[in-house]
Structures are given as structure tokens and as C-alpha cells.
Amino acid sequence: MDRASLLSTFNLIFAEQAEVLARAPGRVNLLGEHVDYNDGPVLPAAIDRSVLFAARSTRQEIVHLHALDLGERTSFSLSSVEEKEDLAGQSLPTWALYPAGVAWSLQRAGYTLHGLNVVYTSEVPIGAGLSSSAAVEVGFGMLWDSLCDLRIGKLALAQLCQRAENDYVGVACGLMDQFASACGVARHALYFDTRSLEWHPVPLPSGTAVVIADSGVRRSLKESAYNERRRSCEQAVELLRKHLPEIHSLRDVSPTEFAAYGYFLPEIVQRRAEHVVKEIARVNSAVTALQRQDAAAFGALMYASHASLRDLYQVSIPELDALVEIARKLSGCLGARLTGAGFGGCTVNLVEVDRVQMFMEELKDAYRRHTGLQAQVYLCQASAGASADPL
């Protein structure tokens, strides 16, 4: 839906004009998977697929939500947002917990909010690992920031949105998704140190494009599988501390140290920890490759990351493996890997720009022949972060 259609729909629903038009992009993680909860650096980029919002503030404490893609609407009161109930006292639907959680988080931080009338629609595929939920959170944060003149910095806003997802929605995500949506820089990846929160943009290689391939398999990351991997990382730190007493997380273990002491770990714990230690090293190598515009080196690190996620961290599935192996054989593809938590969702590919259209068609055709499934394939640009523009 374009800007004019969204504003027209808002006018139709609320019989008034919107005051603010906001957008918050999804994100793709180019490198650095499952390292954020180990204090490691990540390398995401905001993408030019966004959640779009039209909104107007009201004098009441009521927030009226219309989620156009879902064909659903609900309303809640800012004064009782902690109850997670709509105005009729019914539990808020899951999709509404994200905007309600942002209201809860902002109010907990001491900000005074107005009620809102909002319609929103998304170009970010839901459940594909491109952070549609984080984009919704950041977008609502931007609306309140703009309409209530809160003047929150973008990184601080991302942290408040993460708190909403962690403590209100109940999803134990790291900060990367909200950070990338809020702080994206056009044509750049973002090096983000999840420990220090320092970050800087890194230019993507000229003459290349980012292509995202949705496997069509919706992520089924069981909480137990995710928690098992987190526990393995924590256990690895505990055991390695006997040899490396100064470490606080796997971020503090170098590949050389892991080569020396990793064999003291139980086999599964060793595999999980090896992925994390080497993935952090790959991110640091990738920044060097991008700074010298070495697309081939960056692509090789992407392939290595996928192999590690498949064999050591064991979060890939046959469909994602098929997409990566097909891409590897296609002309113009420099690198490919699964992106996001795994167990479904998408792969991300770095492709020579003059081969993109052929690559996309050949990838779809070969994937359909190989799996019987239809992949959605998107050409993406690294985009600017979230914005809210008064009308």
C-alpha cells in the first residue's frame, strides 16, 4: 500500500486527517548469528521493506489500532496497559501486544503519552526472520516520540522497544532487531557491538545487491531448542573459566584459546561454543573485508557462517540448505547463508548487481524443482532507519 492509499484509508476509518506518517524498516542480518546473547558483534542492515503507519494523537488515553494486513482492530487504554486487556476487558490479541508493550515501556520510563488513532500495514513478511515485530515496535515508538515531542534518541528508543518485547510480550530477543530498524543507514551494513552498544556504518560492496529468499517454511524455533543453545553457551563459559578465569562470556574467548581449551567441553557444548567463537571472528573479518570493498572475501565468510550454523549450531533445515547450495552454483552469487534464528525463514545472498534478475529467477526455479516449494525472492537495498514525518 502506498502513502496516498494509507492516508486515504485512515481518513475513511477515523473520519479525520492523519497528523503523522511513519515508517520502520525490517532488517536482515548479514553476519553474526546467535552471538548477540553472547555479547558478540553483529552486522545487520535495515532493508527497504517497511511497516507504514498513519496516525493522529487524541485527547483521550485510548489507543485505537487498525492492523490492515490482518483485517483486525482493537483498542486499549494507556492507563491500564499493564493489564494487557482491551476496552471490553478481553485479553489483547498477540499482534496488539507489540504496540501496547511500547506504550507500557515508554510510560515505565517516565514518558507521558497521548492516545492515538493508528492504521498500519506491512511490506515485511511475517515470520520470515526479517523482524516484522521489531519494525512494528520501533514504528510505534517513533509515532509517540513525534506526536508527544519526547525527543528520545534512536538507540535509546530501540532499547525501550526491546524492553517491551522482553518484559511485556515475553520474547527473549536481543537488541539487534530494534537497533537495526531504528538506526539503519542507506547503502550500509551496521557494525553493532552488543556489549558496549557502540556502532558504526560499514559500506556494502559497490556493484553488489542483497537478495533475500524466503524458503516458505515458517520459523518453528521451539523455545526449548533456543533455550538449550543458550544454556550450552553459558555452560561453555562456566567450564572454560577454569582455564580462562577472566572471561565473562564467549565474546571473551579467542579462536586460538578455544582451539587450546575447547576439547575440555562436552561434545554438544563444544559445537555450540565453537560456532559462537568463530562467528564473532567472522564478523570482525567481515568489517575489514567491507572496508576494503572485498566482496568475494565477505561472501566467503557468509558461506562459512552458514556451514557453521548448519553443522555446529544445528539451526538450519533442509530447505535453507537447499537455497544456499543452489545459490552457490549460480553465476554472480558471491555469498549466501541463512539469516535470523533458523529453523525456517530466509536466506540472504550477496549477488553481483548485473546478474541479479537472472539469479532470482534461477534460484526460484531450481528451489521449486528441488523441494516442490515456492520461494519468495526479494531484491533489497540497505535503507535508512525509522522516521516519522508530520503531515
Q: What local confidence, expressed as pLDDT, does residue 221 receive? A: 56
What is the C-alpha to C-alpha distance for residues 351 and 189, in angstroms, rounded to an integer? 15
Q: What local confidence, expressed as pLDDT, does residue 342 receive? A: 87
Q: What dihedral angle (degrees, nearest 10) is formed by the CA atoms of 211, 217, 221, 225?
A: -110
Task: Give the count of alpha carbons within 13 A of 324, CB side only.
Answer: 27
Helices 154-163, 132-147: inter-axial angle, 10-degree rounding = 120
In degrees and rounded to multiples of 5, residue 193 shows phi and psi of -85, 110
Q: Which amino acid is at 80?
A: S
Q: What local confidence, expressed as pLDDT, does residue 171 receive? A: 82
Residues sharing a CB contact under 8 Å with residue 31, sequence separation 6 or more, in sequence order: 42, 43, 279, 282, 283, 286, 301, 302, 305, 337
Q: What local confidence, expressed as pLDDT, does residue 186 receive? A: 96
Q: Any idea where the domains of the chain sit in the sequence?
A: 3-203+384-390, 208-235+278-380
Displacement of CA 94 from its chain's centroid (Å):
18
Q: How many residues does the chain have?
A: 391
Residue with cell 522482553: 166
CA of 281: how far to CAs of 40, 69, 232, 252, in Å? 9, 40, 19, 11
Active site residue ranges: 177
Spelled out in words, what is the top-level CATH class assigned to the domain 3-203+384-390?
alpha beta
Low-confidence ranges of the chain (pLDDT < 70): 126-129, 219-224
- CB of 364 closer than 8 Å to CB of 224: no
Q: What local confidence, expressed as pLDDT, does residue 128 receive? A: 60
Closest to 327 in 3D by CA, of 367, 283, 370, 374 = 367
Q: What local confidence, expressed as pLDDT, does residue 223 receive? A: 63
Q: SS3 for 7?
A: helix
Can you name the residues that pair with 52 across neighbouring β-strands?
A: 23, 121
Strands (E) in 305-381, as ranges, are 333-339, 346-352, 376-380
How many DSSP H helices and E strands does the chain contain? 11, 12
As a CATH number, domain 208-235+278-380 is 3.30.70.890
What is the C-alpha to C-alpha distance for residues 90 and 84, in angstroms, rounded to an integer? 8
What is the C-alpha to C-alpha distance for residues 206 and 187, in angstroms, rounded to an integer? 9
Closest to 212 in 3D by CA, of 291, 121, 155, 128 = 128
pTM for this entry: 0.92
Closest to 139 in 3D by CA, of 72, 56, 53, 64 = 53
Q: Identical fold at 3-203+384-390 and 208-235+278-380? A: no
Can you name the residues that pair with 349 across neighbouring β-strands?
A: 211, 336
Mean residue pLDDT across the chain: 95
Residue with cell 526472520: 129
